[in-house]
Structure 1
Amino acid sequence: MQGMVGSLRRYGQPLLALVALATLAMGGIAFFTGQTEWASGLWSVGTALVLLALLVEIVLSLMQGHFGLDVIAGLSMGAALAFGEPLAGNIVALMYAGGQQLENFAEGRARREMTALLGRTARTAMRYAREGLEEVPIEALAPGERILVRRGEVVPVDGRLLAARADIDMSALTGEAMPARFFSRDDMPSGGTSIGAAFDLEVVRAAADSTYAGIVRLVEQAQQSKAPMVRLADRYALWFLALTVVIAGAAWWATGDPLRALAVLVVATPCPLILAVPVAIISGMSRAASFGVLVKSGGALERLARVRIAVLDKTGTMTSGKAGVVEIRTADEIDPEELLRLAASLDQASNHVSAEALVQSARQRGMALSMPADIVETPGSGLEGRIGDLSVVVGGSDFVRGKCRSGNPYALGRDLPPGTAVVAVGLDGDVAGIILLSDRIRDDASEAISAFRAAGVTRFVLASGDHADAVEAAGALLGVDEARGDLLPPEKVEMVIAERRNGPVMMIGDGVNDAPALAAADVGVAMGARGAAASSESADVVLLVDHLGRLPVALRIAQRTRLIALQSVVVGLSLSLLAMIAAAFGYLPPVQGALLQELIDVAVILNALRALSVPASPHPAPLR
């Protein structure tokens, strides 16, 4: 039934608008050439055809349990035919059909960023088989299989890069203008477009479970949602209809002139509610999507606009989520950079988390790593080997001290910052230094908090399951109002609920353990670019790009969108009510009233479309 109503609006409204315009124009020509009967007949036919289509739509909507304000337009057209005012009726018909078309155009423009995602889903992939490459539906791909992604193709599933490098255009997915670069064994999300040489990819998730498929589901959910302000229009439709009928009936009863009642009905169509609000909400959602922030529903956009308290997860949200080198302490006169290069060169032979952190930090600094030889690894402790002519040992402090003749790593490890891990390094039998690893505060975290404060968020709470001292240290660096560590998932939920007593709460998290707290918050925000799928499913807002600075931008967009929607409602309904009163007192005949109402409709829809060009920020977050 819902599909039938949608089809009528999609395909029937353009035809109805053309019919109403054609009969109005041809009737006008007939009128000015003295063919008044032909003019009245043409106007009547145009009005009757649009009225018939409207009655069908009203019946179908009532069968779905929906009552809309289109009833007033139907009453206006019916009264115009009954009272012998076919011109007014034809103008109302054009106003109704044209207004629906204007709404469809406005919403279509507003949905551009979101619907662009839906048209880019890959359908097939080139899979390696015994006989060579074969083209298969993406639903047939299984984890562990190997596929070929060619230049210009959309990455069909989440995978692990098997080539040395790949350049991917992620702009349609995240809003980032610059292409993302992936290296060997990097995890690659689905949905981006290959803009470089062809590469092989190992499938890590089935198509239905991949990143892009999840985002498409979220977009479809967002497009089908209704904001509370839109539901408010539906709820008060009956009351507005009653008010309209009372004013029209009173004008007729007091004056005995049925044209007064017709004039009231003509100007009563509350397009500020039935057109402007959904256009503004969809425009705001689309604007946020262009910055890589997917708001899953109109209601979430409205709640985001009212947020005053932010609860922030630490690991992976306000920090990088991965250990990185924060300091290098060396013995004697050893160069710190050379110590890191030698340690990372040896650690290429290990898959330990600390080893991966050293290798990645060295590569980020542009170091040329040497090939290790004679490697002996002691699982859980460290490894030793040769880098050129040097004997190198890397691992825990006890392990390295036991392998060296002189030196003590503990002597270098005094006054360590909270949450710091130590990797000791020995060279040719001597303790050469220690490398400090820590989960670093994101470069954009402090700037994002400042931007949130400027947008009206008054309180920040850092919440984490990490050790309390590490969380408090991170909180001090970020300048939050409160920092709490050693929290279990249920305790995070309790914290969110407690903070809600002070105002609307936004929770930002990235892990599976954050999902319950995200669901408990007024607005849950998931770090979709790096977080777990469970957090994205339970959240109201998903950050598709790995840049915290986009969230304050989305908050500003939500605030301005809500203001624009309210402006459209208040100003539009006030003008309609004034026009109804003027019509009741005889100052606004039916034809002029219909023309005035058309101007009001166009004005409120154009005002609602301003949400598409909401200024994001004086200094928008850079595109990466």
Structure 2
Amino acid sequence: MAQRSPDQPTISWTLLALVGALLVLGGAGWLAGVPTGAEVLWAAATVVSLVPACYWVVRALRRGQTGVDAIAVLALAGSLAVGEYLAGAIVGLMLATGRTLEAYAERRAARDLSALVAHAPRSARRRTAEGAVEVVPLAQVSAGDRLLVAPGEVAPVDGVAEDPAVLDESVLTGESRPVERAVGEAVASGVINAGPGFGLLATATADQSTYAGIVELARAATAETAPAVRLADRYATWFLPASLLVAGLAWLLSGDPVRAVAVLVVATPCPLLLAVPIAIVAGMSRAARRGVVVRGGGTLERLGRAETLLLDKTGTLTGGRPELAETVPAPGVDGDRVLRAAAALEQLSPHVLATAIVQAAVARSLPLPVPTEVTEEPGAGIHGLVDGEPVRVGQLDGHPPPWAVALRHRAASDGSAIAWVSLDGGLAGGLRLRDPIRPDAAATVNRLRAAGLRRLIMVTGDRELVAEQVGRSVGVDEVVAGCTPADKVERVRQETRRGVTVMVGDGVNDAPALATADVGVAMGARGATVAAEVADAVMTVDELERLADTVAIAARTRRIATQSAAVGMALSLAAMAVAAFGQLPPAVGAVVQEGIDVVVILNALRALGGGWRPAASRAWRPGAPARSE
């Protein structure tokens, strides 16, 4: 990623304002019949432009790069040397405008991980020897301390469960279903308590715990991300020596240094300094209107030439929220009665699956009475009275009947969870809940291929059987299951060695991989702030198809930027030839270059439109080519 000093945008805007003012004042002085004053003002504009331009060139050389600014420096210096101050002022204005646009395109949120740390627990509930609970800073927690994790809280350190616990581990493992931990089982820091409060025996300090390790992985991955070379600078690798050669020959053969300056003035790569940033900014604006915030022009440019896409499963290809997939009543029992009783009881439960059960009952317009005498047993279930009838929702006790065995098999085959419902002491039915695949996932995968991505890989911490089923359903090329955050980082590293790689995810477990990829895209619509902080692009709308739109926009933007640069440089080369034969004075050449700028800028502005299908006409079918224009 391009790393720019924090004051770069301020410098660029200040330079643009100052040079523009001096150029205009000089023009006013010339029109007023004060040519000497005009020359002084134009010379000042040239000097003001030359100083920062020299700094930018030196900085690029120290990084081993030869940027487009080198030609501008030579043109500015040459204009001063031969007294062509108006030409120098115009070149300075073009340089300042290009730098300002580039600074705007490249400006992005800082990629420090302070927010990742900020979202980590800062305190813990520690039990005292007297049995009381005190809130202490996280740094004071030591191995062996007995803690209490309240409902909805994040486990502050690694430990062992002292009570049965229901945990949402999706932020660490990608596993979408709540996980039940029995007494004595390990609990990792960073997981969310999705059930009642439970006791936790700390086995590590905060610095030694799982969450801290993920923070460090993300920090290391970000630190090793090398700065990208500007798109314009890649063209400059051949344009710069070509310009110097033509200018040198013009001076050598004519003996007139003014001709060399004229060549350098028209060679000043304004199509690169202006058209490329304008196209990039236009593409970023287009992506933002589609609900994807791209943090910098370099990101959009890399996204436009990406070859491989890695996607997390939970929250990316799937919805990330359990939904009721099936209500299976026991023979002779009404299914709505089973769902109504379970949902009425679950109204008072903080369990992750409870919300899905209640929502399903509400969607069917089932009346939900207020339950009484409700008691929840962590890891076992919840029971109480609904309309005076004993109801229990939770695990299955005893030997299951044939219909329950069949339901278990279906659940095991697709990774679903089952909430068993008992009415008046007898098993009445089962509610199968699963994390559904996004309805647009398969179509989006095909659209991503049509946009130019060659390999699509799903990486997930979920089980292999479940992951393979999701992978087959959406049509990815490869499925990598059972991944830890470190496994995801290593796989991203492998793919980046083969080509430009994009990683898409939404949880804490994805943050290190997002920071490692050439382009990290966070599904941030539901508040995945940790992933968003280290990502290069954030999807603010919870629709996967917006990613395909953005890839198409990025590819089109890059194509337009390349076209603008190519056409502009071709016209500049033609003008250089005319200047070399003495038919184009420096000041006139600067005006001609401005005309070339207008042509390429108008072309660059095409990036503001096209590149995706409007929602109203998006009758897309799998395998159909994506619209690119």
TM-score if structure 1 supplies the norm length? Answer: 0.69
Matched, 1:583 2:579: yes
* Cα distance change on mapping 1:517 and 1:263 into 2, 3 Å: closer
Bigger relative contact order, structure 1 or 2, given CA contacts below 8 A and separation 6+?
A: 2
Query: Residue 53 of structure 1 aligns with which residue?
Result: 48
Query: Residue 371 of structure 1 aligns with which residue?
Result: 370
Matched, 1:523 2:523: no
Q: How does 1:286-297 map to 2 (within 5 A)?
A: 286-297=285-296
Q: Which of 17, 25, 33 is the matching residue for 2:20?
A: 17
Deviations 1:365-393 (A, max 9, x none): 55442100133444322233222243323
Tell me whether 531-540 or 299-308 shows the greater mean CA deviation.
Answer: 531-540
Asked if the contact 2:328–2:429 (Cα under 8 Å) also holds between the matched residues in 1, the reply is yes
Query: Residue 424 of structure 1 aligns with which residue?
Result: 420
State the alpha-carbon separation in 2 of the partners of residues 68 and 106 from structure 1: 13
Matched, 1:598 2:599: no
Query: Residue 442 of structure 1 aligns with which residue?
Result: 438
Q: Which amino acid letter does the alignment assign opposite residue 20 of structure 1?
A: L
State the alpha-carbon separation in 1 of the partners of residues 5 and 395 from structure 2: 65
Query: Residue 507 of structure 2 aligns with which residue?
Result: 511
Query: Residue 331 of structure 1 aligns with which residue?
Result: 330
State the alpha-carbon separation in 1 of the partners of residues 57 and 500 from structure 2: 36
Deviations 1:210-256 (A, max 9, x none): xxxxxxxxxxx9xxx975234726974xx755544442342233234
Q: How does 1:183-582 map to 2 (within 5 A)?
A: 228-230=229-231, 232=233, 236=237, 243-332=242-331, 334-398=333-397, 409-410=404-405, 413=408, 415-416=410-411, 417-500=413-496, 503-530=499-526, 532-582=528-578
* Cα distance change on mapping 1:252 and 1:531 into 2, 3 Å: same
* Cα distance change on mapping 1:55 and 1:335 into 2, 3 Å: same
* Cα deviation, residue 591, structure 1: 4.1
* Cα distance change on mapping 1:369 and 1:597 into 2, 3 Å: same
Asked if the contact 2:287–2:553 (Cα under 8 Å) also holds between the matched residues in 1, the reply is yes
State the alpha-carbon separation in 2 of the partners of residues 52 and 498 from structure 1: 48
Asked if the contact 1:448–1:549 (Cα under 8 Å) also holds between the matched residues in 2, the reply is yes
State the alpha-carbon separation in 2 of the partners of residues 558 and 443 from structure 1: 24
State the alpha-carbon separation in 2 of the partners of residues 572 and 27 from structure 1: 30
Asked if the contact 1:418–1:469 (Cα under 8 Å) also holds between the matched residues in 2, the reply is yes
State the alpha-carbon separation in 2 of the partners of residues 5 and 483 from structure 1: 43
State the alpha-carbon separation in 2 of the partners of residues 373 and 295 from structure 1: 51
Asked if the contact 2:68–2:236 (Cα under 8 Å) also holds between the matched residues in 1, the reply is no
Q: Which amino acid letter does the alignment assign opposite residue 233 of structure 2?
A: L
* Cα deviation, residue 444, structure 1: 2.6
* Cα distance change on mapping 1:310 and 1:382 into 2, 3 Å: same
* Cα distance change on mapping 1:383 and 1:246 into 2, 3 Å: closer
Asked if the contact 2:106–2:297 (Cα under 8 Å) also holds between the matched residues in 1, the reply is no
Q: How does 1:96-107 map to 2 (within 5 A)?
A: 96-97=92-93, 100-101=96-97, 104=100
Secondary structure at the aligned position of 2:597 is classed as helix
State the alpha-carbon separation in 1 of the partners of residues 8 and 469 from structure 2: 57
Q: Which amino acid letter does the alignment assign opposite residue 27 of structure 1?
A: W
Query: Residue 94 of structure 1 aligns with which residue?
Result: 90
* Cα-Cα RMSD: 4.0
* Cα deviation, residue 466, structure 1: 1.9
Deviations 1:258-284 (A, max 9, x none): 443343233121112223323333333
Q: How does 1:75-224 map to 2 (within 5 A)?
A: 76=75, 79=78, 83=82, 89-97=85-93, 100-101=96-97, 104=100
* Cα deviation, residue 557, structure 1: 1.6
Q: Which amino acid letter does the alignment assign opposite residue 55 of structure 1?
A: L
* Cα distance change on mapping 1:62 and 1:381 into 2, 3 Å: closer
Q: Which amino acid letter does the alignment assign opposite residue 537 of structure 2?
A: V
Deviations 1:450-471 (A, max 9, x none): 2212212233333322222212
* Cα deviation, residue 580, structure 1: 0.7
TM-score if structure 2 supplies the norm length? Answer: 0.69
* Cα distance change on mapping 1:367 and 1:443 into 2, 3 Å: farther
State the alpha-carbon separation in 2 of the partners of residues 347 and 5 from structure 1: 56
* Cα distance change on mapping 1:302 and 1:102 into 2, 3 Å: closer
* Cα deviation, residue 413, structure 1: 4.8
Q: Which amino acid letter does the alignment assign opposite residue 260 of structure 1?
A: R
Secondary structure at the aligned position of 1:486 is classed as coil
* Cα distance change on mapping 1:260 and 1:63 into 2, 3 Å: closer
State the alpha-carbon separation in 2 of the partners of residues 443 and 370 from structure 1: 33
Secondary structure at the aligned position of 1:307 is classed as coil
Q: Which of 601, 607, 621 is the matching residue for 1:611?
A: 607
State the alpha-carbon separation in 2 of the partners of residues 521 and 277 from structure 1: 24
Secondary structure at the aligned position of 1:553 is classed as helix
Unaligned runs of 5+ in 1: 31-37, 116-141, 144-158, 161-220
* Cα distance change on mapping 1:366 and 1:527 into 2, 3 Å: farther
Asked if the contact 2:421–2:429 (Cα under 8 Å) also holds between the matched residues in 1, the reply is yes
* Cα deviation, residue 575, structure 1: 1.2
* Cα deviation, residue 560, structure 1: 1.4
* Cα deviation, residue 508, structure 1: 2.0
Q: Which amino acid letter does the alignment assign opposite residue 57 of structure 1?
A: P
Asked if the contact 1:106–1:609 (Cα under 8 Å) also holds between the matched residues in 2, the reply is no
Q: Which amino acid letter does the alignment assign opposite residue 517 of structure 1?
A: A
State the alpha-carbon separation in 2 of the partners of residues 429 and 516 from structure 1: 49
Q: Which amino acid letter does the alignment assign opposite residue 536 of structure 1?
A: A
* Cα distance change on mapping 1:399 and 1:534 into 2, 3 Å: farther
* Cα deviation, residue 555, structure 1: 0.7
Question: Percent same amino acid at aligned positions?
Answer: 42
Asked if the contact 1:409–1:431 (Cα under 8 Å) also holds between the matched residues in 2, the reply is no
Q: Which amino acid letter does the alignment assign opposite residue 488 of structure 1?
A: T
Q: Which amino acid letter does the alignment assign opposite residue 358 of structure 1?
A: I
Asked if the contact 1:423–1:435 (Cα under 8 Å) also holds between the matched residues in 2, the reply is yes
* Cα deviation, residue 326, structure 1: 0.3
Deviations 1:148-172 (A, max 9, x none): xxxxxxxxxxx99xxxxxxxxxxxx
Deviations 1:543-567 (A, max 9, x none): 2322211111111121112112212
* Cα deviation, residue 44, structure 1: 2.1
* Cα deviation, residue 55, structure 1: 3.3
* Cα deviation, residue 440, structure 1: 1.4
Q: Which amino acid letter does the alignment assign opposite residue 232 of structure 1?
A: D
Asked if the contact 1:5–1:57 (Cα under 8 Å) also holds between the matched residues in 2, the reply is no
State the alpha-carbon separation in 1 of the partners of residues 28 and 607 from structure 2: 34
State the alpha-carbon separation in 2 of the partners of residues 526 and 472 from structure 1: 23
Secondary structure at the aligned position of 2:319 is classed as strand
Deviations 1:7-31 (A, max 9, x none): 554235334323323433553564x
* Cα distance change on mapping 1:526 and 1:72 into 2, 3 Å: closer
Asked if the contact 1:226–1:299 (Cα under 8 Å) also holds between the matched residues in 2, the reply is no
Secondary structure at the aligned position of 1:432 is classed as strand
* Cα deviation, residue 604, structure 1: 2.4
* Cα deviation, residue 305, structure 1: 1.6
